[in-house]
Amino acid sequence: MNRFEERGEELVAVRQDGRLKQLLRIHLGPPELPQAADAESAPVLTPALFSAYRDLGSLRYDFPLVLLEPGADRVAAPLSAIIDGLIDAHAQAGVPGEAYRRDLYQLERAVKELAAAGDERPLKAIWTEAANRCYAQTADEGRRKQLRDNLRSARLEVRDDGVVACCDGRIARRFFMHAWQRVQTEQDVHARETLDELIAELTAIVDADRMRSARATSAEALRTAMGDEHAGGIDFDRLSTVLRSSKHQRPLKSNRRKRLHSVLKVLEVQRKQLGAGNGRSPRRGGREYTAIDSCVEALKLLEAEMQRMVELFRAVRIARLEVENRYDESRHDAFFAAFDQQQLTPEELRGLPPLFVHIDGHDLGAEDKSALIEILSSDLPIKIVLELHTIPDTLPLAVGQAGFGGWSTSIGSMATGLRTAFVLQTSASHLPQLEAQVADGLRYKGAALYCVYSGPREESESVPRYLRCASALEGRAFPCFVHHPGYGGEWAQRFELLANPQAEEPWPVHHFSYEDSDGRAIGEEIAFTVVDFLAMDPRFAAQFVPVPPEDWHPNMVPLGDYLALQEGDTFGKVPYLLMVNEDNILHRVIVRRGLVAAARRCAELWRSLQELGGIRNSHALRLLEAERQRAIEQSNSGRPAAESAAEPAAAPELATDIVEPLAADDAQPAEVAAAPATDQAYIESELCTSCNDCTDRNSMMFAYDDAKQAYIKDAGAGTYRDLVEAAENCPVCIIHPGKPVDPSEPGVEELMRRAEAFN
């Protein structure tokens, strides 16, 4: 039975069901740009699962964020976590806390309002104004006094302070710059300690040599050092003679003395550039931490710094040899005279002063792309934040395209394949959860790349930035993962999927409750997919078509269920997304097939990441299955022959799929049987969904009639291959290639075999 015969009943069902045919035409056909009047009257729809998150001001989540001052245990902390910590500490003290809890939650809302309005002062400063707002909103005098007491005592218990930051268009840059300053301050402390130790040891050698000099051991110098009150009749002339004759008092050779002074000078200059430093503030008296906006510029700056660092590492190596008394002029003089960056070890290269680069993905040009790959392929300690505002950065919605994303949204995965660079990919909404991983990358002695989606540059009144960023991660449009070469040599050690909800599943699934028109409560499980995320993007508005309830059809399938089907099983089915308008009225919205293809591609990319992260790894599953089969075979081979013979033969696994053949009269419905019995190519035009597949392939061979339904215009206007491939790609299997017009066409025998399934 060929493919056409197998689907005969389904084809007839579509032909006879005008409503389903119209829905399929919407799903399979090209998007139509809405007219201006239609666009103004169209309802504003959002994915149904977003309905509970429209008012973020009433919810508690990871923002606003407090960027903590140096000296705190963490780089940053959500305001909600600080408030919860105060409440928990109060409860542990055994004090009744319901009023305290209520008052702090009231204060938290006031701080969020001030921060959302642009107040970027430290928390303790905003706290005072927020508290005054709370007092003004409380009419009862006794209640106001209790509120004042609770908020004042809570403020005294706040240990760490810092600037309050919202999830706005600047949060990624602010967060990473703050973390960078903190980590660099820590590393400066270590560098200062190393240089201080070397300087002290070299100074001791130089001071000891000075004390052995003729001037230092002269009678006058000894008398001055001792002082008249302690002289006690000492013969300083004789003492001087004894000291000078001692074999232990021989001064250093002039070459070594000169070398020690030269090395000390280099180390002391480098030490001054690190500033005084106390571990709590960045670079006191030294260079300020700054961000570079170009990878090309970063490479130039690092090259300029290289000579200075060559001088430093040369001095450090000499200093260590001198301290250990292992410097051999016959061996080492020539080596250090020719010392340049070629002699730097990989560890020393990674020890160069790290540079911080912040790039807007929209401005990433070809030259910067090349420099970015060069950096990620090296051991250079350059930390790059690539901030993305648009996902995908290309629109893969034309017929035949199934791509998703683009260069900038794939760079994280590509950089992971290089294996040498630290890579962290995430949305800005989840930065607070990944503080430890961010710091790991900044401390890593090599290149680091942070790919961060922070939402559109322009703020949106309809969709909060936090919600947009969180949905990109949840919908697998921009999954979160970390690759750390320092964690180990195996993928299981160095690669991890982080912060992705329900990471073991293709898509996260959530319960959604609503009421029908009769007021009955209904609940169902809904998959949150990349299409839910793209539904908020105006670029894709034409890919969603609302369907009135009176046109709903049993063949309409929730998008998550549709994506779970094999493509061959989607025939005659129409995927829809549940969305709600501003009045929380539920709508079914058909998703056009271009967006479905993009979702399938997105799911494939997520599946690849799952395998890297050890989730249902195909190699492991194959090994497990092979072991299972081997165990079964060993078990069967060990059973007695009589026992095996007594068992009935197992039924074939596919026995349940065997059906009785149709009677001759029922083999095809009447309309299908009426198909032309000819070797000429033809199209069942009445079943056409106007999807443009065939007309886009060859507009001279295929055309539309007045009802915009396809027919064969001229079978000779193209090749037989055009006909066969059009039949294979037709979503409703209605093109019949017939026999070739030109039997001598190259490869015609293979094409005829392929055409049999459609004739």
Q: Compute the distance between CA of residue 529 and CA of residue 222 in angstroms, rounded to an integer.
A: 86
CB 682 within 8 A of CB 732: no
**How many whole angstroms separate alpha carbon 574 and alpha carbon 555?**
6
User: What average pLDDT score do residues 184-193 get?
Assistant: 83
**∠ CA(742), CA(748), CA(753), 5° rounding?**
125
Residue 121, burial from CB neighbour count under 10 angstroms (0-12, 13-18, 19+): middle
Over residues 22-36, the pLDDT tens digits come to 899 899 887 765 544
Q: What is the pLDDT of residues 561-583, one digit of tens each?
A: 999 998 778 888 999 999 998 88
When mean pLDDT is compared over 238-242, 451-455, 737-741, the highest value belongs to 451-455
Q: Is the CB of residue 722 less than 8 Å from the CB of residue 668?
A: no
- pLDDT band, residue 659 (cuts 50/70/90): very low
Query: Which structure tokens are listed for 730?
Result: 């037709």
> Over the stretch 5-55, which tens digit does the pLDDT of each residue have?
556 677 767 777 889 988 998 998 877 655 444 444 455 889 999 888 878
Q: In this predicted structure, which of 108-122, 247-261, 605-619 has the lowest mean pLDDT?
A: 247-261
Mean pLDDT of the chain: 83
Per-residue pLDDT at 644 = 42
Give the residue among 531, 592, 695 at the shortest CA–CA distance from 31: 592
pLDDT for 190: 81
Q: State the pLDDT at residue 408.
A: 73
pLDDT at position 589 is: 96
Torsion of CA 381, 387, 392, 393, to 10 degrees: -90
pLDDT value at residue 686: 79
Of 27-41, 70-84, 101-115, the least confident: 27-41
Over residues 290-348, the pLDDT tens digits come to 789 999 999 998 888 887 888 889 999 999 999 898 999 999 999 999 998 888 887 78
Q: pLDDT higher for 132 or 354?
A: 132
Instruction: Enumerate the β-bridge partners of residue 164.
Output: 66
- Given a contact cutoff of 8 angstroms between Cβ atoms, the answer to whether 206 and 260 are in contact is yes
| Residue given tokens 């959860």 in the structure block | 433
428 pLDDT band, cuts 50/70/90, is very high
- Which domains, and CATH codes, for the chain? 64-166 (no CATH), 173-212+251-290+297-340 (no CATH), 348-497 (3.40.50.970), 669-758 (3.30.70.20)
Q: What gap in Å lies between CA 384 and CA 371, rounded to an integer?
A: 11
Amino acid (1-letter code) at residue 734 = I
User: Measured between alpha carbons, how far is residue 120 from residues 84, 155, 162, 534 in Å?
Assistant: 22, 18, 10, 32
The answer to whether residue 146 scores a pLDDT higher than 50 is: yes
Whether residue 282 has pLDDT greater than 60 = no
| Other residues' Cβ atoms within 10 Å of the Cβ of residue 589 | 20
**How much is the pLDDT for 466?**
94
Determine the pLDDT at residue 556: 96
Looking at residue 219, what is its pLDDT?
65
Environment class of residue 180 by beta-carbon count within 10 Å: exposed (0-12), middle (13-18) or buried (19+)?
buried
**Is residue 397's pLDDT more than 60?**
no
As a whole number, mean pLDDT of residues 349-358 equals 83
pLDDT band at 246 (very low <50, low <70, confident <90, very high): low
Residue 747 has pLDDT above 50, yes or no: yes
Q: Kind of pairing, strands 556-558 and 544-547?
A: unpaired
- The confidence band for 433, taking pLDDT boundaries of 50, 70 and 90, is very high
1 band by pLDDT with thresholds 50, 70 and 90? very low
- What is the percentage of the chain residues whose pLDDT exceeds 70? 82
Q: Is the peptide bond before 64 cis (omega within 30 degrees of 0)?
A: yes
Computed on alpha carbons and rounded to an integer, the radius of gyration of the chain in Å comes to 37
Backbone φ, ψ for residue 380 (5° rounding): -70, 135
pLDDT of residue 666: 39
Q: Among 236-250, 464-478, 526-540, where is mean pLDDT lowest?
A: 236-250
* 285, pLDDT greater than 60: no
pLDDT in tens, 485-538: 988 888 889 999 999 999 999 999 999 988 877 778 888 999 999 999 999 998
Q: How far apart, in whole angstroms, are the C-alpha atoms of residue 555 and residue 216? A: 102
pTM of the model: 0.78
